[in-house]
Amino acid sequence: MFTEEDLLDGFRIGEYVVLPKRHVIRRGKEEQSPEPKVFGVLMSLARRNGDDVSRDELIDEVWDGRPTADGPIARAITQLRGHFDDRQRPYRYVQAKHKIGYHLVQPVALLDGNAEAQAEREDSALWQAVAGAAIAILLALVIWILWRPDVDATDAIGVLPFDVASDVSGDEHIAVGLKEELLRALVRADGPVIKNGRVRYPELDVPEIADHLDVTVVVSVTLLRDGENLEIAWRAESGRDSSLIASDSVRGIKGEMLELQRMLVASVMNGLFPGARQELITESRPTGAGIESYYLGLYAIERRGEPGNLMKAIEHFQSAIRLDPRFGPAYLSLATAYALLPDLENAPLEESHRLAIQTIEEGVKVDSSIADASGAIYGHVYHKQKRWKKAEEAYQRAINARVVDSNAFNWYSRMLASVGRLDASVEEALKAQRIDPDSAIVNSRLAIAYAWIGDSANAAEFFERSRYLGVRGSTHLLANALFLVRIGQLESARQLTTAGVRMQGANTDWIDPVFAAFADPSRRDDALAALNAVADTGQLSPQVEIVVRAMLGDTDRALDIAELLNSPGEMFEIDLLFVPETKPLRDHPRFETLLENLGITDYWKSRGCQLIEDSVFCDQRPDQKL
């Protein structure tokens, strides 16, 4: 391994000369000056001279140890390859190794003395590097012919979003619906893990995508529409070296979507699992009449954070059920939408829950195979009713269903946090992230869960991932702001707080005085006066007020806000009772009574839980059978 000093006088990699003192990459008379981070990555790779450098090592050496998501690293690698004109596979200069890191393919040769003069003398020997590259390509082709990777139960398969290449706009819902059916079909007993990729990552190659999703096989699909004719082409590539595992295409017409769906599933199944029998994962299939409505509903509910989309989803799922009354998944999706109404549309709690339970009961009657998955709906309703034991039993049924949606793990994580089991909450959020790694909602939940247990490095990483994935919503922004206050980034926290409060449609007059008090505790009285003035107008959400009062030492008033949780539903996230910033509440004599009233004390007794040194410890793990 070379040192930084070894490399300073210059070195050659293949056709290129690198001059660190000038920050230059040179080939012949052509010179390039990479961005500092990109050049830093190059230096880290060069020091290893062909050995792997891990993601964590790159963060330490190039990003000064600051928490960094995968995106900036991957972009730096892509830019570095561009400087080496290394854009086509197999890569000749910078290679990724699945789950390990990156390394240089070409050896590093140090230049002695006058680096530039030596580089000019060595230009005549470039044919050797070119010949070596040609041999490497030939060997790669021979190896591919002799060895074709197979998919088995030890693999994990990531399915990327369909690429819609149509001459008619509005086909995105078809891509979403077909992908949903494909994901469900790929789930096999004792088979590989199936992961839902929600971002295409055009700047990354297949091994980098595989590393990000933590999979060994990447499936990409293109949907092409020409008038009423549809063509779907798919390919499965090895996450280790991008080698082709299988590919195919199917054709059909838009009016026969059900047949096209069947052909796609059969094609992919036969390509990935030759000779395997397709397993029935639901007892019902749509007749075809309702499939378009179902796809439209899936598309809308995936984007439920946008105004009006949840109501659109409900209308489409209702239409799908009217047209195909025996299609179980439509009932499951409609019940999920009803359960979300109070949170996203401020709908009446009891009526929304009644509709959710009624819908899922009707669905199970016509399709009993959705019974276990329906546990997520019951769990969500019981959670809002603070019936913690029944909620946990329902969630455990859901997360052990034949086909598990990340939503079940996500909601279970929220429930565990609400009863103070913050560590267990992280575990369930991680399970959601493993099967749905690009979900904005899941990554937001994981960021918040890490923040609540005080894991700053992981919290920072997943807040950054969430931002990259376009997370919206005041709860996420305010949780991120609280985390930033904790780590001393007050100005960034103030900006996020302002954005989150404005998103709630609330008054922001208290924000500047409160942040002034965070910076200078002697200004606490001014902050409380500003807070009280806004609170008296009813323009301060309890979600914000309880945390801010606890942080300013106004514990009695904070407990008054906490006792609003005794009302039906969840006035704000109950897990806020257990975060580090609200510790003064937990030391208050009234806190024990609050826990009893919320049913949390009884839940703790049933699970062998105790509050010890400000953390909840339980005899029974969440994954233990109740």
Q: At residue 148, does pLDDT exceed 80? A: no
List the one residue out of 269, 196, 243, 247 whose CA is nearest residue 98. Answer: 243
Per DSSP, helices labelled H in 367-510 are 375-384, 388-399, 406-418, 422-435, 440-452, 456-468, 474-486, 490-503
User: What per-residue confidence (pLDDT) applies to 142?
Assistant: 40
Strand ranges in 228-334 using DSSP code E only, listed in sequence order: 229-238, 244-253
Classify residue 432: in a domain, yes or no.
Answer: no
Classify residue 291: in a domain, yes or no.
Answer: no
Q: Phi and psi dihedrals of 579, rounded to 5?
A: -80, 160
Classify residue 34: in a domain, yes or no.
Answer: yes
User: What per-residue confidence (pLDDT) applies to 199?
Assistant: 81
Shared domain check, 18 and 108? yes
Q: Range of 36's domain? A: 4-146
Shared domain check, 109 and 57? yes
By the 8 A CB rule, do 203 and 74 touch?
A: yes
| Residues contacting 170, CB < 8 A, separation 6+ | none
Shared domain check, 238 and 124? no
User: What per-residue confidence (pLDDT) applies to 126?
Assistant: 46
CB-side exposure of 480: number of CA atoms within 13 Å? 30
Sign of CA dihedral 133, 137, 143, 147: positive
**pLDDT class of 67 with cuts at 50, 70, 90:** low
Sort 568 into a burial class: Cβ within 10 Å, 0-12 / 13-18 / 19+: exposed
By the 8 A CB rule, do 248 and 219 touch?
A: no
Residues 531-561: tens digit of each pLDDT: 999 999 999 999 999 999 999 999 999 999 9
Per DSSP, 347 falls in state -
C-alpha torsion 363→366→371→375, nearest 10 = 10
CATH of residue 263: 3.40.50.10070
Distance CA(587)–CA(595), nearest Å, equals 13
What's the whole-number average pLDDT of the chain? 86
Shared domain check, 161 and 223? yes
Residues 5-21: tens digit of each pLDDT: 899 889 999 999 999 98
Domain count, the chain: 2
Residues 113-137: tens digit of each pLDDT: 554 555 555 444 443 554 454 444 4
Question: pTM here?
Answer: 0.70
